[in-house]
Amino acid sequence: MSEKIDIGIAKLLYSGSRGGSETSKGPEIMEQGGLLDILERMGCTVADSQTTVLTAEEETHYGTRHRFGLASKHLTDIVADQVKRGIFPIGLLANCNGLMGMLAGLQHSGPGWKPLKVGLVWIDAHGDINTPETSLSGMLGGMPVAVSTGLCLHRLRRECGLDPALPTKYVTMVGVRDTDPLEQEIIDRSNIEHITVDQVRRLTPAIDLEMERLAILTDLIYVHIDMDVLDPAEVPGHGLTVADGPTSIELGNALEMMFEHPSATAFGIASYPWSRDPDGVSLKAVYNLIEGVVRGLKNRKA
């Protein structure tokens, strides 16, 4: 793919997390900290950049989780529109709860009324497939994969626009190495496949094989990253880091492999620790990952 690549930025500032601020500055900082220059240097055109905003009527609604669902539905509409216009969406997300809106946007990006089948490459140190019954913390941020695969919080999933839920066989987890006991039981009983950190570092054929598996089962693939998957040295301000993560260069190289596959239709990055990154170490890691995605897009055969 030698011609310019049209990129769309889709920002979700709403976190869905109770306590603290309802929104995060992370997505805006990721965009404004140098991303546009990087994309231009790599032969991309930023054809669209949108931020989810509640309507005046929606602003009268209360409830953090409900307002998050309303905002996520706007993300769904943004992503669907970008894909329909031939634009590659990059989701800059407050946290991993943005998963539902990104998946829903792809699900409803087809030419007709029927939802498309969407595969998920979930790159995170955690499975985030807890349910309210299994979660030790009760955090919504530990449940987005469970919500997206129809295991819990069905009203929230539908409010985000994701319907039907994804079968677990449409999911591949990458780098997951810290799960709660009952969460691990959910994973063990599922049809989820896995790629290890070691396989990422060595760029093994498992990466291509999983992309090909998802491409056979689904119409489109969404690749999602939580920054806590990385080596803790690159995300020192993140509160949920786990030892033995890949570096952003190593993971960027794996992303390059993933996005050489034509079914890989969108990318999202979540949980940039913007308030605890004074030296810009984590922001640089964000850009290393996005550069890997763009290299993969450019490597595709016309």
Residue labelled with tokens 């409900």: 66
Residues 61-87: what's their mean pLDDT? Answer: 97
Integer CA distances (angstroms), 267 to 78, 83, 223, 226, 259, in order:
14, 12, 5, 11, 9
Instruction: Inform me whether the pLDDT recorded for 20 exceeds 80.
Output: no
Residue among 180, 167, 175 nearest 123 (CA): 175
Cis ω before 205 (30° cut-off from 0): no
Domain count across the chain:
1
Q: Confidence band (pLDDT; 50, 70, 90) for 21? A: confident
Integer CA distances (angstroms), 99 to 39, 72, 144, 232, 292, in order:
23, 9, 7, 23, 20
Residue labelled with tokens 């539902």: 100
Q: What does the block give as tokens for 109?
A: 């990006």
**Whole-prediction pTM:** 0.97
Q: What pLDDT digit, counting tens, does each position of 247-278 carry? A: 999 999 999 999 999 999 999 999 999 999 99
- pLDDT computed for residue 2 by the predictor: 52
Q: What does the block give as tokens for 295?
A: 């290299």
**Whole-angstrom Cα distance, residue 36 to residue 41?**
9
B/e letters for 41-75, b = 16+ CB within 10 Å, e = fewer, are ebebebbbbbbbeeeeeeeeeeebeebbbbbbbbb
Instruction: Inform me whether the pLDDT recorded for 292 exceeds 70.
Output: yes
Query: How would DSSP label each residue in 255-284?
Result: HHHHTTSTTEEEEEEE---GGG-TT-HHHH
| Domain carrying residue 111 | 5-299
- As beta bridge partners, residue 41 has none
Instruction: Inform me whether the pLDDT recorded for 1 exceeds 80.
Output: no
CATH number for the domain spanning 51: value is: 3.40.800.10
Cβ neighbours for 55, distance < 8 A, ≥ 6 positions apart: none
- As beta bridge partners, residue 8 has 48, 89
Q: Confidence band (pLDDT; 50, 70, 90) for 202? A: very high
Count, in order, helices (H) and strands (E) of the chain.
Answer: 11, 8
**Whole-angstrom Cα distance, residue 41 to residue 22?**
34
Q: What does the block give as tokens for 171?
A: 């999911």
Q: Confidence band (pLDDT; 50, 70, 90) for 181? A: very high
